[in-house]
Structure 1
Amino acid sequence: MSPSSASKTPTIQDVARRAGVSAATVSRALSAPEKVSDSTRAKVTEAVEATGYAINQAARSLRMREARTILVAIPNMGNPFYSTIMDSVVREATLRGYGVLVANRVGNDPTQWLRDYFSSNRADGLLLFDASLELGHLPEPPRQKGLLPLVLSCDEIIDGGFNLVMTDNRAGAERATRHLIDQGHTRIGHICGRLVHQFPNERLLGFQDAMRKAGLPIRQDWLFPGDHSMVAGVDAGDRFLALSDRPTALFCANDESMIGFLSRTRAHGIECPRDISLVGFDDINIAENYWPPLTTMRQPRNELGRVATATLIDILEGTAPSGEGLRIVLPSELIVRSSTAPLPATRQAVGL
């Protein structure tokens, strides 16, 4: 082989000659391998490896008028809950030949960044973990089989026919609260999550479901406002300490707010689970190694990121089921550790 031919960048025609098929067949085998036979796919794969051919993704995007990129919007880059999810998102997108852009909630108008990307065709679809964004202000990209190339994965169910991939937040919250009831607690409060767009928070609803089914009162002074942050947990701790009549247990909307609550109340002599039992939601990485180790509802974060990404790409590629809006619900799991304990009989007897 001459130096000039050795340095020449392999083309799809080179692959076709090596495989003994047409260039169109090579293109079909690379873009839609399920549409060619196993033997043809094997020939093309061998030819690609032998020639060193690499798909020019930028050129493909120009021809297809696609960015081959998905945009992921998250509410807080610093929240450890999202690290595992983002790892799964990037892995799945890469396997499917897509790039990933990440938008963190910043500025007075966090949807502006998203609008810019959609209007400039720099992203094909949106994977949304931030329910606070104003979806109505985004330009609507072309639908595939009636489905918007947008997948929501939040702890609120948002109306409007959007595609949802989420954990069973309401059922999980009910299970977490029922665990406290099974431990003998009847005086139970809740650190709430975000309330956005006037949609009901699923974990608050699950807490209320469990309390009503057990015939227990839902006291407004034991519902502490929150936004899934550690600071909100600290604030809930201050509100708890100011009460003259306190609950013996709390269901916390997530682990971060639970940790904030623990840090503030422990500084004032309140010990968990001696004085109060706590159960959270998410099972973030530190939950098992915090003190006390946190009882919590484990979200399948790896699966959540993978399934949400796969669903969005299926929509983009036209292989998702037709419909007005997809809904995929993944189960959470109760992980019992040391932050919950049975209420002592003496406290049950006096209603403390």
Structure 2
Amino acid sequence: MTVTRKSPTIQDVAREAGVSTATVSRALSTPDRVSQATRERIEAAIAATGYTLNQAARSLRRQRAGTIVMAIPNAGNPYYSSILDSVLAEASSRGYGVLVSNRVQGDPTVWLRDYFQSSRADGLLLFDLTLDIASMRRFMTEHGNLPIVVVGDEMVEPGINLVTSDNREATGRAVEHLVGLGHRNIGFVTGPTMHDYPNERLLGFRQAMGRNGLPLREDWIIPGDHRMDSGYRAGSAFLTLAERPTAMVCANDEMAIGFISRVQQAGLRCPQDVSVIGFDDTDMAQYVSPPLTTMRQKRAELGAISTAALLDIVEGMRDPAKPVRIILRCDLVVRSSTAPLPGAAEAPAPRLRR
């Protein structure tokens, strides 16, 4: 007769350690709330019983949750797809889980604070710059000096860990691409400005227009919020202009796609009547009509590098007193939504940069 041995349970661990199951559970989920002596007894009981919650046992020894939080503003935005994949892959390779938090109605810091108050996470990857970064830093400091790495479009103050793209330089190159095609009247659909930091893409646009001695008209700078419907509304605003630019730079691909859709509905052609360049190179950029010229962010690298930096701080491999500052260059990807201005002098064909 074969006897099947029952797998050890948390009750077995509690009996072996001489504590309640609630104490074992608390030690595994929030080890800082249990005394060192009790944690050591529970760790020994886990080893003696063969209880197989290995990640929990490791967390017990190091007093970490083994989890990080990734806070994003809009899970439906395709910009975050490859970033999320790379965050999960990098965290998993180092034995960590990832809690993905999508912004909700009301105070957006409430759902984040709950994770850290209950010791369910070791650090924060902050992609949602609508949050009050200074307030979140104070809160994280008060709850164990937990680290934050910001991954966003703006150059936050030097004391904050930051991984970002060189948005100002990249938008300048977007303008240069259009100038090389003979365009001089160029407009911009801008994303929202957060906090008191400069809007890097708008600043890059203004500086590039100035460098090239081009007219910088405020009525050609149309506000948007990075969503496709705001690009569509920007297209409507463009159509009302008495004098229209011949080319538009859009602060992200979704707005560029919405913009093109609206002007095409009105009978204009892209790029024959207006050239349009986006930003990000999201997965759909190459499949829309016309395929979108855009500035490619290295999104997978942004995710992997920011995750590695956060975990290095968590594990004491990086000095928290020396803030992370990593800035990645974007690539110009030329497709069919931009073309030489009719009648302009022939310009050298732009190259696809990888």
**How does the TM-score come out when normalised to structure 2?**
0.80
Q: Distance in 2 between matches of 1:295 and 1:328?
A: 26
Q: Distance in 2 between matches of 1:170 and 1:55?
A: 47
Aligned pair partner of 1:92 in 90, 95, 98: 90
1:156 corresponds to? 154
Aligned pair partner of 2:169 in 138, 156, 171: 171
1:233 aligns with 2:237: no
**How does the TM-score come out when normalised to structure 1?**
0.81
- Please report the RMSD computed on the Cα atoms of aligned residues, expressed in angstroms: 2.2
Q: Distance in 1 between matches of 2:344 and 2:253?
A: 29
1:57-89 CA distance string (max 9 Å, x none): 113323432111100011110000101100110
Q: Which amino acid aligns with 1:168?
A: D
Q: What count of residue pairs does the alignment treat as equivalent?
A: 302
2:140 corresponds to? 140
Q: Distance in 1 between matches of 2:272 and 2:143?
A: 55
Q: CA deviation at 1:135?
A: 2.0
Q: Distance in 1 between matches of 2:319 and 2:110?
A: 31
1:191 corresponds to? 189
Contact 2:7 2:51 in 1 (8 A): no
Q: Which amino acid aligns with 2:229?
A: V
Q: Distance in 2 between matches of 1:104 and 1:85?
A: 14
Q: Which amino acid aligns with 1:140?
A: M
2:301 corresponds to? 303
Q: CA deviation at 1:280?
A: 0.6
Q: Which amino acid aligns with 1:264?
A: R
The unaligned stretches of length 5 or more in structure 1 are 10-51
Q: Which amino acid aligns with 1:319?
A: M
1:29 corresponds to? none
Question: Per the alignment, in what secondary structure is the counterpart of residue 345 of structure 1?
Answer: coil
> What is the percentage of aligned positions where both structures have the same residue?
54
Contact 1:143 1:149 in 2 (8 A): no
1:194-252 CA distance string (max 9 Å, x none): 21112111111111121111011211000010111101101101110111110000110
2:78 corresponds to? 80
Aligned pair partner of 1:66 in 60, 64, 67: 64
Q: Distance in 2 between matches of 1:328 and 1:286?
A: 27
Question: Per the alignment, in what secondary structure is the counterpart of residue 287 of structure 1?
Answer: helix
1:24 corresponds to? none
1:207 corresponds to? 205
2:280 corresponds to? 282
Q: Which amino acid aligns with 1:345?
A: G
Q: Distance in 2 between matches of 1:150 and 1:125?
A: 6
Q: Distance in 1 between matches of 2:292 and 2:228?
A: 15
Q: Which amino acid aligns with 1:202?
A: E
Q: Distance in 2 between matches of 1:258 and 1:167?
A: 19
1:56 corresponds to? 54
Q: Distance in 2 between matches of 1:281 and 1:56?
A: 43
Question: Per the alignment, in what secondary structure is the counterpart of residue 140 of structure 1?
Answer: helix
2:221 corresponds to? 223
Q: CA deviation at 1:347?
A: 11
Q: Distance in 2 between matches of 1:55 and 1:109?
A: 35
The unaligned stretches of length 5 or more in structure 2 are 9-49, 347-354
Contact 1:233 1:258 in 2 (8 A): yes
Contact 2:191 2:251 in 1 (8 A): yes
Q: CA deviation at 1:121?
A: 1.0
2:311 corresponds to? 313
Question: Per the alignment, in what secondary structure is the counterpart of residue 207 of structure 2?
Answer: helix
